[in-house]
Chains A and B, each alone.
Chain A
Amino acid sequence: MSVLEQGYLTLETGEVFEGILIGANKDSIGEVVFNTSMTGYQEIITDPSYAGQLITFCYPIIGNYGINAMDDECISPSLAGVVIGDLCETPSHYQSINKFSEKLMQAGVPGIAGVDTRLLVKTIRSRGTVKGYLSKAKQEKFDENKTIPFWVEKVSTKKMQYFNNEGPHVVLIDFGYKKSILNALLDENCCVTIVPFNTSFEKIKALKPDGVLLSNGPGDPMALKQWFPEIKKITQHYPTLGICLGHQLIALAYGAKTEKLAYGHRGGNHPVKELATGKVKITAQNHGYVVVDESIDAQVFQITYRNVNDKSIEGLKHRRFPIQTVQFHPEAHPGPSDTHYILEDFVYQINSVGDKRYAIK
């Protein structure tokens, strides 16, 4: 191990957290968010939805089982950095090929260890959205980053990718998709075409899909405002599933509004209630924005899921079209797979409805 180097996480609200720098040797700035999952750090740091964010791990010991060859959610992590408590440099797992710190280094992600992450979490909660600066030197003055990058553009695929299979054809619109969504579709025997986030309806139509999935992704959904009409058009023509950002985009496309949560839902223990059955499912979540309850037109959408704790909207179903959306992550990874059936149901729906209903050519 290299010599321990002292570093700092400075919040725009003035608080400074000391620690030991790990990972890539560079300063970084981003919104400081926290995740309460006790396992799944590898999936979390490779989830494109965290683009531009500094993730704080609530669980204080990170790196225990190392990094393996299977669990990455994307090829190149786009998060701004990680903040952890105790770094485990002696991982133990039969699949482990790397240490956590090595992974950060390879991915060019800086991090800081030895931080009282609980204090940081409480600070974030009391402040709402907070930006942080991760650096070698103490930041006297917080460098205001004026323009917020358009993260979806940065993480979305630049060209189409096709995965052949025997089942129905699903177009996965990539706003920063997690590999697990693709895997879940492939497991259901779907052919999958991954398309860039800005793919037009016409282009998608040309692919002759049986269904469309709008993926998760980073940032404010309003940053994609100009594509709302296209999204609406796509969903009116194909059985659609929206996940996380995809859910928000569909709601927005139909005239609903979104707002920023005080400090987001990020973790693997979020209870959502399936309103039709009253059953509660534990879900993986990772979102900072939420669909505003009052903005939903009850004539257009039926609310299917609600968060048990803050009662916020967790899922929608279009009253006429076969469109379903969920704010949580049915593909899990990390987190519980209680709602995996949503993906299965989606594929089942495509199979049973298919393009019979949409006889548009």
Chain B
Amino acid sequence: MPLNKNLKKVLVIGSGPIVIGQAAEFDYAGTQACIALKEEGIQVVLINNNPATIMTDETVADKVYIEPLNVETIEKIIQKEKPDGVIGTLGGQTGLNLTVELYEKGILQKYNVALLGTSVESIKNGEDRDRFRSLMIKIDEPIPESAIIHTYEEGVSFVKEIGFPVIIRPAYTLGGHGGGFAHNEEELENVLKKGLAASPIHQVLVERSIKGWKEIEYEVIRDANDTCIIVCNMENMDPVGVHTGDSIVVAPSQTLTDVQYQMLRDSSLKVIRELEIIGGCNIQFALNPESNQYCIIEVNPRVSRSSALASKATGYPIARTAAKCAVGYHLDEIVNPITGNTFASFEPAIDYIVVKLPRFPFDKFPEADRTLGTQMKATGEVMAIDRTFEGALNKAIRSMELNIFSLCLEANKSIDNEVLFEKLERPNDQRLFMIAEAFRRGISLEEIKQITEIDSWFLNKINSVVSLEVELASYAWSDVPLPLLKTAKRHNISDKLLSQLYSIEEKQIRSKWKELNWKPGYKMVDTCSAEFDAITPYYYSTWLGADEVEETNSRKILVLGSGPIRIGQGIEFDYCSVHAAKAIKKMGYEAVVINNNPETVSTDYSVADRLYFEPLTAEDVLTVIEKEKVEGVLIQFGGQTAINLAHDLEEEGVKILGTTVENVDRFEDRKEFYQLLEGLNIPHIVGETVSHKDELLAAAARLGYPVLVRPSYVIGGQSMFTIFTEEELNYYILQLEENSSQDKMWPLLVDRYIPGLECEVDVISDGKNVIVPGIFEHIERAGVHSGDSISVFPPISLAKETKETLIDYAEKIAKSAPIVGIMNIQFVIYQNQVLVLEVNPRSSRTVPIMSKVTGVPMIEWAVMAQLGISLDSLSNDTGLLTEPNYYSVKSPIFSRSKLKGVDHVLGPEMKSTGEVLGLGATFHEALEKAFPSSSDETENYLFCSISDREKQASLPILQQFVNENYKLAATEGTARFLKEKGIAIEKVIRGNEDVNELFKNNTIQAVINIPNQGRNKIKFGFYIREQATRYNVPVFTHLDTVEAMVSLQAQNFTKSEVRTVTEYYNIKESGVEHVKCD
């Protein structure tokens, strides 16, 4: 059936902020789907409050609502827009849950909105464990022995029946959140209670564990005519037990015979047909390694992270196809855009292997629990393609940007066998390297297999890489045999590793390859193993074959992407990369893009003119540059990843466009940076570099506490703390010594901490003119990482003169460096003085937001400036642009409940994974939309624990809450202080027991816990915050945030309107309110 012509306008529900388990893949899916719908002449209305997304660009959807993702708001949008249909299966679990809610509340029916694609009944059949279970029993598909449990007691008696180990999976949660294994009664109590609490419907599935079975996934698509196809299957290297988002995954499956492949394929089709899904679906199987016995673990009746991976692995655009199916098309009516001459009703055949590695945030959080289980912990992932597993694995490892280029890590060589075995047994993020270390020590494959339960196919391959590394290491560079080197390159051993093994420069290795005329070939990802001609320029490199990618004579520019998503470098840089590619195209060049993140829009085949799915290392980037003969490289849009490559590229004579590498360095090197500022008469914070403990203590005393301390080798606030006393400083040194080796620990940077107002600007500059679209003011004062603070635009408390000073400084810096392209400057304003905190000579986290809320094409202009176009020819206005008549508030979102052991206390190190944007005619309207929502319970408890430092400052704020009829519970010291000051305390909390009782028996609106320092597990505050996370209670760790929260109490938002971004632009009356004034 062709397009349903009754559909003129369709509402698409996005997935909201990035959290662990729901990330950039939904921007990719949503963007693809919106474009697919627009192609059909359908008007697309989109709601998503994640501003760092491409899908919320007004070029992607026709009407963009950056409004809170809740049913009330969506109803208002439906009322206003009167869409004919809604698609809810593209916005992850968030979109799916909202769709079900809209349906169940009768809203879709009330406004006569058709639910497109998979029906609510089908969604529930897939999502509700009980219904799914009965359905599978009905169609005779095996599922693990299990029971749906609603109470703790029910669970315990069921487990008595089936025995340990068991796995607990809560219904309707993200990324398996709140689930886990239990091997004994004690664990059962813990996990079961947590699981029941995590499920919004207090329902968990308790099942007998099939740990150790192979985990296999199938991506299936079905159309309304019941045609079903498999896009791809994938095999997890980690057997069942590790969340697929945290597993090492290969595509296609490697260890299944055709009989097994088809057995699971048949089962997949049976399931998707029974569920009557229209669109995409993901099915996870467990397969017994010793028989053909299998069972279905889980079904996701929507596009997912796995479907994004499958799309990038095969070239098959799942979200696009699902969207077309949702509006009526049959699969055989949809052209395969990769080939242009075949149809979507086929199954991709690939002639390479794909390896996906998860990217974990543990480099930032050494205190976190690194074991892996059913709760996803990875923030991102990389994908690598090659024609052998070894090659793809080595490429994937270097794509991770963990400064790891080998399987045999130096640090692992010294660990005890006992520790090694433990790390092999309990899955954790380092296990791949532990396996390698075990092989290096001569531990047998059988033994490793027995401990890890990983299939020996994978272990053999890992072993072969280890042997190759060991053999390479046995030679000197001068005598390493050529055939061995050839094998090394064929297995994609990096030049970097060779340079480390032979203590020579990478450059020397590169020239050797030139001498030998060795180079990788590039092959195409074409969905069909070369059976048909393909037209999509999506490539990967291999040392196992000829180069088939034809050269073109067009003028080309390369955009370096930002690699895997990690805390501190997220989807916003993908946004920037995509816009950079678009700008290049607009300027008449061909855009070449290199990136390795399968979740993102930048790696969609339609973004670049030529996409290279490759690691972002000097070696891999240089070969692409050489092949494509690009005229220049843009390094300002791929976050720190791209910046870090600048030197190597320039050294090889590659032209870096915009700000010179030398000038980039001046901002990275602290001494030079301060010199530059001093030369311009711009005040900056005072700091010193110290190389010894005594020096540090002396410097801190000299600068005066509080001080800001961090190691010099890290970027992005890693291991950065604000320290208030000498005692804390001693503790910090102790901690650092424990977590890093001596040689890496020093020098440390120590700065005077200034508790002022923080602001930041993104500056577009051609070296002569600057454009500053706006100033973001942070709600929390300096000391909180800019990524974790709530920020507002236009600023609410900056005097006109202060703004002028900011812009004056920005201009001076831009012109003197000079900056050509874009930069981000962070300021602190203290006692009427503007000081520069930091300059990042690249695009930043705030660029997508500022671009969106001002309508200024920031990246496009920055690219044009880098291509030599003067800014005054692009814009009539320069300097600070006129502020709009509405407010934007950005609020960070933390994946608190996903990372056990991590203390999400606000501080100089970034911890949030995503952000939401609230827009409003007034500051408070915007703030309310961006704030963590609290429930409407009648009993309004606040639980306070305030450090001595902040007690006095907290008084007026807490008083206001009391005035708003909040009841206070407080820890002993805080309670004493507040009582003294005449504030009534309902409960005094004296220890862990009291905390548990409080959370269990009362509705706590929020925890206000201002710690001395945070991230110290032995402190009571840490326990309080951990429990709050368990009970899903918002925690505020900074008084400034609390102050903003209390300011909302007096407001009435019932009449709050929904507006598209364009409608916000058009607000004529300014709702300016000055909340705080210096």
Contacts and interface: CB of A to CB of B under 8 A. Distances in A.
Contact of B229 (A34, A59, A282): A282
**Interface core residue of A70, A92, A121, A333 (most chain B CB under 10 Å):** A92
B823 to A, nearest CB: 44
Contacts of B546: 116, 119
A74 B387 CA distance: 30
Q: What is the predominant secondary structure among interface residues of chain B facing chain A?
A: loop
Interface string A76-98: 00000000011010111111000
Contact of A309 (B258, B346, B544): B346
Contacts of A122: 530, 548
A336 B264 CA distance: 10
B351 A64 contact: no
A34 B530 CA distance: 10
A327 to B, nearest CB: 16
Contacts of B431: none
Interface in B245-276: 252-259, 261-262, 265-266, 269
Given A64-B254, A121-B531, A273 B332 contact: yes
Contacts of B265: 336
A71 B292 CA distance: 14
B98 to A, nearest CB: 32
Given A65-B256, A119-B545, A92 B455 contact: yes
**Interface core residue of B257, B265, B461, B528 (most chain A CB under 10 Å):** B257
B255 A92 contact: yes
B529 A59 contact: yes
Nearest to A265: B531
Nearest to B226: A279
Contacts of B347: 268-269, 271, 282, 336
Nearest to B291: A94
Q: What is the predominant secondary structure among interface residues of chain A facing chain B?
A: loop
Contacts of A281: 227
B530 A125 contact: yes
Contacts of B226: 279
A36 interface: yes
A105 interface: no
A337 interface: yes
B111 interface: no
Contacts of A270: 346
A40 interface: yes
A59 B266 contact: no
B725 to A, nearest CB: 58
A239 interface: no
Interface in A84-124: 85-86, 88, 90-95, 114, 116-119, 121-122
B39 interface: no
A300 interface: no
B634 to A, nearest CB: 31
B255 A43 contact: no
B70 interface: no
A71 to B, nearest CB: 7
Contacts of A258: none
A93 B461 CA distance: 15
B258 A71 contact: yes
A36 to B, nearest CB: 4
Interface string A27-69: 0000000101111101100000000000000111100110010
Contacts of A117: 351
Contacts of B253: 39
A34 B343 CA distance: 21
A86 B388 contact: yes
Given A122-B530, A125-B530, A39 B544 contact: no
A61 B255 contact: no
B532 interface: yes
Nearest to B455: A92
Contact of B387 (A38, A43, A85): A85
B266 A94 contact: no
Contacts of A85: 387-388, 544
B694 interface: no
B331 A280 contact: yes
B457 interface: yes
A213 to B, nearest CB: 22
A310 to B, nearest CB: 9
Contacts of B258: 37, 39-40, 42-43, 71, 268, 333-335
A269 B346 contact: yes
**Interface core residue of B227, B291, B460, B521 (most chain A CB under 10 Å):** B227
**Interface core residue of A43, A88, A279 (most chain B CB under 10 Å):** A279
A95 B287 CA distance: 14
A267 interface: yes
B388 A36 contact: no
A280 B330 CA distance: 9
Contacts of B461: 90
A155 interface: no
A332 interface: yes
Nearest to B521: A116
B531 A71 contact: no
B227 A279 contact: yes
Interface string A316-348: 000000000000000011111110000000000
A281 B266 CA distance: 12
A115 to B, nearest CB: 9
**Interface core residue of B266, B350, B529 (most chain A CB under 10 Å):** B529
B991 to A, nearest CB: 53
Given A267-B349, A336-B262, A91 B531 contact: no
B290 interface: yes
B225 A278 contact: yes
A238 to B, nearest CB: 30
Contact of A280 (B332, B349, B351, B528): B332
Contacts of A37: 258, 349
Contacts of A337: 262, 266
Contacts of B254: 61, 64
Nearest to B233: A38
B428 interface: no
B257 A271 contact: no
Contact of B532 (A61, A116, A278, A309): A309
B351 A65 contact: no
Contacts of A334: 258, 262
A268 B265 CA distance: 12
Contacts of B918: none
Interface in B316-350: 330-332, 341-343, 345-350
A204 interface: no
A72 B458 CA distance: 26
B544 A116 contact: yes
B886 interface: no
Contacts of B255: 64-65, 92-93
Given A94-B291, A308-B332, A280 B345 contact: yes
A357 B587 CA distance: 74
Nearest to B253: A39
B144 interface: no
B388 A60 contact: yes
B389 A61 contact: yes
Interface string B382-394: 0000011100000
Given A39-B261, A61-B388, A118 B548 contact: yes
B457 A64 contact: yes
Nearest to B348: A269
Contacts of A121: 351, 529-531
Given A38-B349, A278-B330, A309-B342, A93 B257 contact: yes
Interface string A268-308: 11110100011111100000000000000000000000001
9 contacts: A39-B253, A40-B261, A93-B255, A121-B529, A277-B225, A308-B342, A334-B262, A336-B347, A338-B269
Given A65-B256, A118-B548, 16 more contacts: A40-B257, A58-B529, A58-B530, A59-B350, A64-B457, A65-B457, A90-B461, A92-B457, A118-B387, A269-B349, A271-B347, A278-B332, A279-B226, A280-B330, A282-B229, A336-B266
List of 5 A-B pairs having minimum Cβ-Cβ separation, nearest first: A40-B258, A116-B545, A334-B258, A58-B529, A36-B349
